[in-house]
Structures are given as structure tokens and as C-alpha cells.
Amino acid sequence: MAIPVVNLADFTSGDPQLKQAFVQQLGKAYEDVGFVAVKNHGIPDALIADLYKYVQQFFALPLDAKKQYEVPGLAGQRGYTSFGKEHAKGSDAPDLKEFFQYGQIVEDNDPIKSEYPDNVQVKDVAAFNVTFEKAYRAFEKSGTALLQAIALYLGLEEHYFDQFVHNGNSILRAIHYPPITQEPKSAIRAEQHEDINLITLLVGASADGLQILTKQNDWVGVTSLPEQIVVNVGDMLQRLTNNKLKSTTHRVVNPAREMWHTSRFSIPFFLHPKSEMSLASLQSCIDAGHPKAYPDATAGEYLDERLREIGLKK
């Protein structure tokens, strides 16, 4: 499936017509499909290449070495989470993956720093943490620009989201789906789900497998070109917009049998706001035809609820 492609350089160009056209393209794509591919996204190719290189080196470490970076009590929010710990909401079957999470670095004395655990320092792979920090900042910058366009599409002030995502609870997650070594119980590596956050930025996975559920209830494969990133709407933005912008259901399926011996790597950036942000549906998205669909909640309350549902928090 060719998902809509937008050019972020149009939004940042300073040309009012290009900017407005981008806002409409992005908003319409999120109403109709829930996913877009973004070119000229501002995340350097060399940085992406380094990120994948170090991620692959990390997951190639012996299990005992990786487990020293697994921190009990953090619900997987920082460091390593071993294979089979997470499952989709409503599913008991664990996803066939292990992952590493890197979070916000507060550098301006914002008291919110006390809410965030420190990032886990990986000593076994040189330049791992410094590369993750650079990538985190690059994703955050691109994601903030996309949210500015979304704000304009929703009739909000352009910088509506800025205050909430600055020092927000965003997560850079590196995922490894190991080779399949025996007949799997399911054709699914990661069961169907919707993301929790505002938007997710995904830089090209190392192999095919991502599928989205269309409005016609068909599963279709999503591919993007190497110079593009895929960006989808999460549940927090769906709640805020009272379903005007749709959080798209997606999954990762197993490869063809001849590719079972291969790993799949994927690095999504989950753009979260600060925990205090209200997700109460915008009044402009509520009318007689679209009555309010969700109870009020803060981003922090909603995240906590979802972490319990997917088995990362008890």
C-alpha cells in the first residue's frame, strides 16, 4: 500500500502557501489513513545508520550481558526488556521481541526531571548512549514540527503542543524480533495494537512485516522509501480530537519461511507529552454528530492505565 507522502520541508520553508498545503495534506491523511510517510524529515542519514549499527551490536550481546541493563520496577520505561515480556492490549500471547528504551534528558532545571528515571548507560557498545541522545533530539525536533502542523489543522494556535512535548515523556525504543527457530504458534510477531502516545515516528525497519488495518477492514503492508520516515497517530491524539484523527491499528507479521533465519530490527520514537497534559477532547471536535467519546484524563493517568493493560506494569 502506498501511504500518503508529505514533505516536511514544505512546512518549514517559510512559504505560506506551501505551509498551508502541507497542513491540509497531513491532516487529511490522518483523518483518512492514520499513517503518512514523511520526506525531508531532518533526521540525518548518517545518524540513522549509526543508530541501527549500535542497536544491532547491542542485541547481538549474550543474554547475560543484556540482562544487566534490565531494571526491575521501571515497567520497561528505561533500559532493556527481555523477550516475551510485553503483549498487546486484550491479548495474552507475548510479542516475539526484546527491546531497549531510552527516555527524556532534562537539561534546563525543569522540576519535571524528578518524574523521569535516569537512562541506562550501556558500557558494552561504544557510542551507544551518545548516539541515542542525538537521535532522541532529532526525532523530538521533527515530531514537534509535525505537531505544529496538526495544531493548525485542528484550528489551534501553531505552538499549542510545544509546551507539553518540551521535556515530555517521549521514548526512543529499539526493537529486535529474533530469528524464528521453530514452527510459531502464530503468524504474528507483534499482535495488532494502537500506539499509546500522540504520534509515533518510525525510521525504516530492517525488514518488511508492518501492516495496517484499513477502514475497509483489510490488512495491508506498509513500506516507505529509505529516505522517508513513517509517522502515525496514537491513542492520546485520537482522544484529544474525539476520534477526528484516527489511531491506526497495526501489527508486525512473521516473514516468509525462507526468511525465518533473519532478525528484524525496528526503531520507533513514541512522542509523549508531559504527564500533566489534559487529554480532554477539544470542544471544537465535539458536536451533535460526534458526541464526546472519552472520559477526561491526563496523559500520565492514561499512560499508567495502558502500561498495566500491556503487561509492563503490575
Domain CATH number, residue 83: 2.60.120.330
Show the cell assigned to 111.
522540576
Confidence class of residue 133 from pLDDT cuts 50, 70 and 90?
very high
CB of 45 within 8 A of CB of 227?
A: yes
Helices (H) and strands (E) in the chain, counts: 8, 12
> Is 162 contained in some domain?
yes
Confidence class of residue 67 from pLDDT cuts 50, 70 and 90?
very high
Residue range 78-107: average pLDDT?
Answer: 82
- pLDDT tens digits, one per residue of 14-36: 999 999 999 999 999 999 888 89
- pLDDT tens digits, one per residue of 207-258: 578 888 887 888 888 876 778 899 999 999 999 999 999 898 989 888 788 8
Positive or negative, the Cα torsion across 197, 228, 208, 213?
A: positive
CB of 150 within 8 A of CB of 245?
A: yes
> Is 269 contained in some domain?
yes
> Is 300 contained in some domain?
yes
Q: Distance (Å, rounded) from C-alpha 64 to C-alpha 199?
A: 34
Measured between its terminal Cα atoms, the distance across the chain in Å is 38
Pairing mode, if any, of strands 250-253 and 188-193? antiparallel
Residue range 112-122: average pLDDT?
Answer: 95
Q: In this structure, which amino acid lies at residue 193?
A: H
Query: Bridge-partner residues for 201, per DSSP?
Result: 231, 269
Show the cell assigned to 236.
492520546
Checking if the pLDDT of 264 tops 70, the result is yes
Residue range 155-169: average pLDDT?
Answer: 97
The per-residue pLDDT for 181 is 79
The per-residue pLDDT for 91 is 63
| Helix, strand, coil % in the chain, rounded to nearest 5 | 30, 20, 45
- CA 109 vs CA 104, 105, 113: distances in Å: 13, 11, 7
Pairing mode, if any, of strands 171-177 and 98-103? antiparallel
The per-residue pLDDT for 186 is 66
Residue range 156-160: average pLDDT?
Answer: 97
State the DSSP H helix or E strand holding residue 19, giving kind and residue range, or none if neither: helix 16-32
- Dihedrals phi, psi of 278, to nearest 5 degrees: -80, 135
Confidence class of residue 204 from pLDDT cuts 50, 70 and 90?
low
Q: Assign 297 to helix, strand or coil.
A: coil
Q: Which residue range(s) make up the domain with 113?
A: 5-309
> Is 314 contained in some domain?
no
> Is 93 contained in some domain?
yes
CB of 179 within 8 A of CB of 60?
A: no
CB of 210 within 8 A of CB of 117?
A: no
The per-residue pLDDT for 2 is 65
The per-residue pLDDT for 238 is 95
User: What's the distance, CA 146 to chain centroid?
Assistant: 13
**Domains identified in the chain, total number:** 1
| Residue position matching grid coordinates 540482562 | 67
Checking if the pLDDT of 13 tops 80, the result is yes
- pLDDT tens digits, one per residue of 168-182: 999 999 999 888 877
The fraction of the chain above a pLDDT of 70, given in percent, is: 91
Angle at 196 between CA 211 and CA 143, to 5 degrees: 85
Q: Distance (Å, rounded) from C-alpha 195 to C-alpha 248?
A: 8
The per-residue pLDDT for 153 is 98
> Is 95 contained in some domain?
yes
Checking if the pLDDT of 278 tops 90, the result is yes
The per-residue pLDDT for 224 is 66
The per-residue pLDDT for 92 is 63
Checking if the pLDDT of 40 tops 90, the result is yes
- CA 105 vs CA 123, 128, 297: distances in Å: 18, 15, 25
State the DSSP H helix or E strand holding residue 229, giving kind and residue range, or none if neither: strand 228-233
The per-residue pLDDT for 187 is 60
The per-residue pLDDT for 76 is 78
> Is 297 contained in some domain?
yes
